[in-house]
Amino acid sequence: MNARTTPSKAATLPAALAVEHVSHAYGARKALDDVSFEVAAATFAVLIGLNGAGKSTLFSIITHLYAARGGSVSVFGFDVGRQSGAALARIGVVFQSRTLDLDLTVDQNLRYQAALHGVAGGEARARGSALLQRVGLADRAHDRVRELSGGQMRRVEIARALVHRPRLLLLDEPTAGLDVRARADILALTRGLVATDGVSVLWTTHLVDEVKPDDSVIVLHEGRVLAADRAQAVMAAAGAQTVGDAFARLTGAAEEAAS
């Protein structure tokens, strides 16, 4: 698993994900208000926000479940609305809810995903077994998903999201419901994908302790972006010592301004 992608090449690419002035509303309720940020190629970006901040809506718009009322989203320069095929081919997604077929084997789940992306036969099998190796589940390929633990299922979902070799991986609260150890495993695995394989990651969470000083952070609160920068810079700007502190100060200030 040596990394053959070259960072210098990645730097010349357009942003892995560019969200530009996205607004969305359900009826009268505004869910997203002029949201803009970028995820550079081969970086680990954390979208952090409380429940109800608009993370899920944003996630749905990026994955083209529905179109935003305003603004645009592009993946490596491909507009999700107008060139959705090209954009979606470059995205791998791990959804918040478990989306594996429990009665099918791990291998069958991966092959279904490969087929959805037009990959079949020996190619699909080869990719599947390489990825299971990568997430440390090579020996479970022929087990039913039902027999796996929560953390193992998440790892299968990450492997599945990579079957079509996307350059951008989106994970929606991937650690929700996992124990401390499984959480750390998933986080380390995903960070490894960024470091060794040059994958770009957008990781949404409400848990501030998942952020490292070097990560990009996007703080989303009540549908608006309060900060989007390196975690260090966000902390410095907020005059905080920790990410959690910075987050509390930013959201607190936003609430004060609103009231």
Partner 1 sequence: MSAIESETPAPFGLGAYWICLRGIVWREGLRFLHQRERFVSALVRPLVWLFIFAAGFRQVLGVSIIPPYETYVLYDVYITPGLIAMIQLFNGMQSSLSMVYDREMGSMRLLLVSPAPRWFLLTAKLIAGVAVSILQVYAYLVVAYFWEIEPPTPWGYVTILPALILSGLMLGALGMVLSSLVKQLENFAGVMNFVIFPMFFASSALYPLWRVQEGSPWLATVCRLNPFTYAVELIRFAFWGKVDPVSLAVVAGCAVVFLAAAIIAYDPARGMLMRRGG
Q: Footprint of partner 1 on this chain (CB under 8 A)?
A: 1-5, 26, 31, 56-57, 60, 63-67, 81, 84-86, 88-91, 93, 95-101, 103-104, 108, 111-120, 127, 130-131, 133-134, 162, 164-167, 193, 196-197, 199
Using the minimum distance from each CB to partner 1, give the nearer residue, 91 or 187: 91
Using the minimum distance from each CB to partner 1, give the nearer residue, 194 or 243: 194
* Torsion sign (Cα): 127, 155, 78, 76: negative
Smallest separation, CB 165 to partner 1 (Å): 3
Using the minimum distance from each CB to partner 1, give the nearer residue, 185 or 197: 197
Smallest separation, CB 103 to partner 1 (Å): 4
Smallest separation, CB 3 to partner 1 (Å): 6
Of the candidates 201, 113, 197, 117, the residue with the CA atom closest to the CA atom of residue 159: 113
Burial 12-35 (b: 16+ CB within 10 A, else e): eeebbbbbbebbbeeeeeebbbeb
Do the Cβ atoms of 235 and 248 come closer than 8 Å?
A: no
Longest dimension (CA), the chain: 60
Smallest separation, CB 210 to partner 1 (Å): 21
C-alpha count within 13 angstroms, C-beta hemisphere, residue 204: 23
Smallest separation, CB 171 to partner 1 (Å): 13
Do the Cβ atoms of 166 and 89 come closer than 8 Å?
A: yes
Strand-pair partners of 225: 220
Contacts of 5 (CB under 8 A, 6+ apart): 42, 197, 198
Strand-pair partners of 220: 225
Using the minimum distance from each CB to partner 1, give the nearer residue, 67 or 233: 67
Smallest separation, CB 75 to partner 1 (Å): 11
SS3 224: strand
Using the minimum distance from each CB to partner 1, give the nearer residue, 17 or 31: 31
Smallest separation, CB 255 to partner 1 (Å): 23
Using the minimum distance from each CB to partner 1, give the nearer residue, 45 or 211: 45
DSSP string, 10-32: HHHSPPSEEEEEEEEEETTEEEE
Contacts of 138 (CB under 8 A, 6+ apart): 129, 132
